[in-house]
Amino acid sequence: MRALSRPVHSPQTGPHQRLEEIVARHRAHPFRKPAAEHSRAAYSELMAIWDGRAPLVLDTGCGVGLSTLRLARAKPDCLVVGIDQSLDRLQRRKAESRPDNALLLRADMVDIWMLLAADGARPAEQWMLYPNPWPKPQHLQRRWHGHAVFPVALSLGGRLELRSNWRIYAEEHALALGLLAGRRAAVEAWQPEAALTPFEAKYRDSGHALWRVAVELD
Ligand SMILES: C[S@@+](CC[C@H](N)C(=O)[O-])C[C@H]1O[C@@H](n2cnc3c(N)ncnc32)[C@H](O)[C@@H]1O
């Protein structure tokens, strides 16, 4: 039987008090960081495959890539790219057959967003499925919406969907979307019929409440 997971525990009882200030700082000071060599290599692999016409779907922090394969099967006209920094995770599911329109890459997502933006590439969809919550208040800037790259990720556009088992993460994400993209995004309770990712399955089976925020950025 799968081990149960504990709900996210944090001293935060609501969105971080410094969220607005930090997001404003990231909006005012564009993020710059040279991409790591391995991320550049992964990006070249993507660009060699993508014809620029098929709708591009990004599965950010895809873990073992199960959601990437499932999204690719559900969207045969799209190129679905799962990106994770952990080679170990990406290789765990090696045996499973991969649809032709799915690609799994080991890279830092921060670099991939920067490289896509530099090339003016526009994904059709961006999925952020159960990112690490980083529940300690001092780790706000490790959460995607607290990271300096977040304005760049939003500038790429497309339909963005975040899912989390920590309501405060989803609330902060929605607030940051309002501040950076002028989008009013609702935090919805989410009850999947079939889990899209292993973390979704684990959290659901552990009885956690799940949350999602979906928004059209274009
Ligand atoms: C909690 S897991 C969720 C995995 C998967 N989305 C799921 O729901 O099963 C978060 C994943 O994000 C990946 N990750 C975290 N920061 C990343 C980054 N900067 N670039 C790429 N992947 C990252 C981690 O390696 C990890 O696999």
DSSP code per residue over 107-136: S-HHHHHHHHHHTT---SEEEEES-----S
CA distance 114 to 131: 19
Give the C-alpha distances (Å, rounded to integers) separating 102 from 15, 55, 114, 190: 35, 12, 21, 26
pLDDT in tens, 49-104: 999 999 999 999 999 999 999 999 999 999 999 999 999 999 987 667 899 999 99
Asked if the model's pLDDT at residue 47 lies above 90, the reply is: yes
CA distance 141 to 138: 8
Evaluate: CB of 129 within 6 angstroms of ligand 1: yes
| 65 Ramachandran zone, left/alpha/beta (phi>0; psi -120 to 50) | left
pLDDT in tens, 105-150: 999 999 999 999 999 999 999 999 999 999 999 999 999 999 999 9
Ligand 1 binding pocket mutation candidate from 31, 69, 84, 126 (most atoms within 8 A of CB):
84
Sequence-separated (6 or more) residues with CB below 8 Å from residue 44: none
Evaluate: CB of 202 within 6 angstroms of ligand 1: no
Residue nearest to atom 27 of ligand 1 (CA): 63
CA distance 72 to 80: 5
Q: CB–CB of 128/176 below 8 Å? A: no
Asked if the model's pLDDT at residue 1 lies above 70, the reply is: no
CA distance 86 to 83: 9
| 117 Ramachandran zone, left/alpha/beta (phi>0; psi -120 to 50) | alpha
Distance between Cα 139 and ligand 1 center (Å) = 16
pLDDT in tens, 176-217: 999 999 989 999 999 999 999 999 999 999 999 999 999 999
Return mean pLDDT, the chain: 96
Asked if the model's pLDDT at residue 20 lies above 60, the reply is: yes
Distance between Cα 132 and ligand 1 center (Å) = 7
Ligand 1 binding pocket mutation candidate from 38, 86, 143, 212 (most atoms within 8 A of CB):
86
Residue nearest to atom 12 of ligand 1 (CA): 61
187-6-146 Cα angle (round to 5): 45
Note the pTM of the prediction, 2 decimals: 0.97
Evaluate: CB of 86 within 6 angstroms of ligand 1: yes
Residue 195's pLDDT is 96
